[in-house]
Amino acid sequence: MEHQFASSYGHPFVGNYIPPQCDFDTVRINLTVTSEGRQFDRLALMFLGDVEVFRTSTAEPTANGIVWTYIKEMSQYNTLWKQPQKLIFDLGNIIDSTYTGPFNVILTASFTHQNNVKTADMILPISARKSSSNSSSAFTVPSENTTVAYSIPGNVSRAVVSISACGQSAEEFWWSNVFSSDTEDFKDTAGTLYGYSPFREIQLLIDGVLAGVVWPFPVIFTGGVAPGFWRPIVGIDAFDLREPEIDITPFIPLLTDGRSHTFEIKVLGLDTSEDGTATLSDTVGSYWVVTGKVFLYFGDNTIHQNKSRPQISAPEPQFAIARDLVRNVSGANESLAYSVKAERTLTVRSSSFVWSQSLSYSNFGLLNQQGTSQWNNQSTIGTVSAASIGGNKPSVESHTTFSYPLECNSTYNITDKTTSIDARISRGLNIDSNGGLGISTYTLTSGPSTLHTKQHGNAHYFSVSGGSSSSSGETTDIFDGGNGYQRYVKAVNGTVVSDTAASQQPSARILTSPNSGQFFLGRNSIRSILGRGPITPFS
């Protein structure tokens, strides 16, 4: 199967997929994107009908354009690949006097038989279900209601929900947001800031009852913070956004009662009070791109004969917050220090199965120099486990631990004629899992998985009003994928200067020098690069 197309704003590519006439259990997608004109990075979503199967983004543009390739495992969606589908690839684009380059996309699928692991027998979308109108089925939250309803077949023995969610616009750099009461603290110097705190919780509700939560990984897309970080090394997961999973097997006795049941996804931040307390907010800024999937596995349902509701232990998360606003001798706001600490546990139990999670989070933030310099140090740590109940004690089926460390500092300087950004970053993604049912949308593999990866570096951006812009920087990526596979890559000013796997050349086209020409931003304004508010005093 191969599709080739060019993207245009507001019109996703729509094609018809016909299953190959062969026996297959392994599917991989090869995606190649090129653009010779000037563009900034875009989020891209791929659907089979109403089901999102791939979320990615474009590479950081350079003076020479964009070239990149990504290979994606798709076997977890075999039940969809076995049937004719409407294929929708949504890569929003703008073509005008500034953004001159269409994205040319080649999408190729390969089908093989490798005696792969068991995959879901049915996949139900938690989406806007707009494929009938040839549109993307992603929800935008909080403006849209994400509730869908299904009657679940009675022969389901296991069920898992995956959630795909990432912030855009006012929520893209949610981890650097401030308390809503502080959004105007530096209005005259840095502009209006984004609120609802740097904490986000994504909730899954079944029939209005909390079934599990996700404390999201802080994805930084190409161009984010400072463009010089991301040539040709991209941010962790920017080309393949993971989907955390919530095992809803304890809900099967309820879901298979022959009635319709609702599934809903919410994204929440924090509301803070003058007395120093914090509670989950009812909403967040605009906007998050959200979908979900219900993976259903058929089998022996006799273990779920007790049709009672699951027992849910989900105490409210515990928050500790602090803030300190300092004024200078003239009375103007000079600096803002703020912090959030959070902990949460949740356990869902039926007579035959138990799923639990334990989460902790912290973010220490500082805006100084009247809001033109910002530092955030964030940590998210979690444990998720699932076990069948039988005999004297539960039998653990899956156990996953993860951590998301992030430290970022960015300072910008604005004059009448020039703009500059200086930034440094250190971040990581650590996952250890003994595996679980099928191919995980979170670990992106089947069976045990170990991943420890870290990125660190610094970058500089400089532009002249009405003139050229330049970007430089260096980024190091250290990758440990377990089973003896390790890789160390360092890029300086767009060129790979060290790579322990030299035979695996990066697919993105790279710059040869930080001064070789005008390098287009990965965002259309300095404010959007840094995640500041949309209101000027500057652009």
**One pLDDT digit (tens) per residue for the chain, 539 residues:** 666 655 555 578 899 999 999 999 999 999 998 877 665 678 999 999 999 999 999 888 766 777 889 999 999 999 999 999 999 999 876 555 555 567 888 999 999 998 778 899 999 999 999 999 999 999 999 999 999 999 999 999 999 999 999 999 999 999 999 999 999 999 999 999 999 999 999 999 999 999 999 999 999 998 899 999 998 899 999 999 999 999 999 999 999 999 999 999 999 999 999 889 999 999 999 999 999 999 999 997 776 667 788 999 999 999 999 999 999 999 999 999 999 999 999 999 999 999 999 999 999 999 999 999 999 999 999 999 999 987 556 677 899 999 999 999 999 998 889 989 999 999 999 999 999 888 999 999 999 999 999 999 999 999 888 777 888 999 999 999 988 889 999 999 999 999 997 444 444 333 333 333 334 445 667 777 788 754 433 32
Q: 255: Cβ–Cβ under 8 A, 6 or more apart, which residues?
A: 152, 156, 159, 206, 248, 261
Q: What is the pLDDT of residue 425?
A: 98
Backbone torsions φ then ψ of 94, nearest 5 degrees: -125, 130
Residue 468, classified by CB atoms within 10 Å of its CB into exposed (0-12), middle (13-18) or buried (19+), is exposed
Following DSSP, what letter does each residue of 82-98 receive, concatenated? TS-EEEEEEE----SSS
Q: What is the pLDDT of residue 209?
A: 97
What is the rounded distance in angstroms from the CA atom of residue 464 to the CA atom of residue 415? 10
pTM value? 0.93
What is the rounded distance in angstroms from the CA atom of residue 158 to the CA atom of residue 420? 53
What is the rounded distance in angstroms from the CA atom of residue 506 to the CA atom of residue 501? 10
**Contact indicator for 31, 103 with CB cutoff of 8 Å:** no
Helix (H) or strand (E) holding 527: helix 526-530
**Contact indicator for 415, 400 with CB cutoff of 8 Å:** no
The residue with tokens 């909403």 is 283
**Contact indicator for 113, 28 with CB cutoff of 8 Å:** no
Q: What is the pLDDT of residue 96?
A: 54
Residue type at 516 in one-letter notation:
S
Rounded (to 5) percent helix, strand, coil in the chain: 5, 50, 45
What is the torsional sign of CA 37, 43, 49, 53? positive
Q: Which two tokens stand for residue 145?
A: 């209601």
Per-residue burial over 283-295, b = 16 or more CB atoms within 10 Å of its CB, e = otherwise: ebbebbbbbbbbb
What is the rounded distance in angstroms from the CA atom of residue 373 to the CA atom of residue 371? 6
Q: What is the pLDDT of residue 6?
A: 55
**Nearest one of 402, 81, 351 to 217, comparing CA atoms:** 402
Neighbours of 4 (CB within 10 A): 12
**Contact indicator for 525, 536 with CB cutoff of 8 Å:** no
Neighbours of 310 (CB within 10 A): 22
